[in-house]
Chain A
Amino acid sequence: EAGVVQSPRYKIIEKKQPVAFWCNPISGHNTLYWYLQNLGQGPELLIRYENEEAVDDSQLPKDRFSAERLKGVDSTLKIQPAELGDSAVYLCASSSNTGTDSNYGYTFGSGTRLTVV
């Protein structure tokens, strides 16, 4: 099993430019999360999807951030335009709320490290 796959791993862009991140969750995981991790801090939830529906996007800065999860599988997170303060690691995670999972089922990807210059 490939786990949660994110791309790109690293991205450097100039401020005011757009950027997009992609996440492919574990097969069968209906719940998908995007977290923001600033340097030296713990991750903070940006948005949570149940299948294709965004059920918690209260922490997503909607003026510049957007996300979608078409067909309830892959997801993209977009920033337009990017600001210097957006430099961080963007983590995707997925989980399943059906059946049992001895490992809790909440699995993180390796993240995308964004640098805005």
Chain B
Amino acid sequence: AQSVTQLGSHVSVSEGALVLLRCNYSSSVPPYLFWYVQYPNQGLQLLLKYTSAATLVKGINGFEAEFKKSETSFHLTKPSAHMSDAAEYFCAVSRYSSASKIIFGSGTRLSIRP
């Protein structure tokens, strides 16, 4: 069985500060891992994905995540937060890279303070 746990349902940072959103996964097989962002009243947009290539994955909007097998983690970071980063972020896991069920975490709401 696969699952993801997102630590912290709400994270608030100041504009320009480091963003760190935590995600730990559980998987009996090598996982494919994803981060999605959801703006209010919109669908989910893929930020980045890990598919067993490089462990440091760079995504859109300046976000990146590092796959750490020893810690079963896939934390999302951004060096400098921008007001437009305020949204809901979901970590997700899948058995395959495509055409498969994706299992989502419960989400972390990111707020940015001026």
Residues of A in contact with B (beta carbons under 8 Å apart): 4, 30-31, 33, 40-45, 48, 50, 56, 91, 93, 95-97, 101, 103-106, 108-111, 113
Contact = CB atoms under 8 A, between A and B. Distances in A.
Interface residues of B, number: 23
B41 A113 contact: yes
B67 interface: no
A97 B95 CA distance: 13
Interface stretch (B14-22, B42-50, B69-77, B79-87): B42-50
Given A48-B101, A104-B49, A110-B43, 13 more contacts: A4-B43, A41-B107, A43-B44, A43-B90, A43-B104, A45-B102, A45-B103, A56-B101, A96-B98, A96-B99, A104-B98, A110-B42, A111-B42
Contact of B98 (A45, A56, A101): A101
Contacts, number: 59
B43 A42 contact: no
Contacts of B25: none
Interface of B: 9, 34, 36, 41-46, 49, 51, 90, 92, 97-99, 101-107
Contacts of B90: 42-43
Contact of A104 (B34, B43, B104, B105): B34
A42 B107 contact: yes
B102 to A, nearest CB: 7
Given A42-B92, A56-B101, A106 B46 contact: yes
Given A42-B92, A42-B104, A91 B98 contact: no
Contacts of A48: 101
Contacts of A31: 98-99
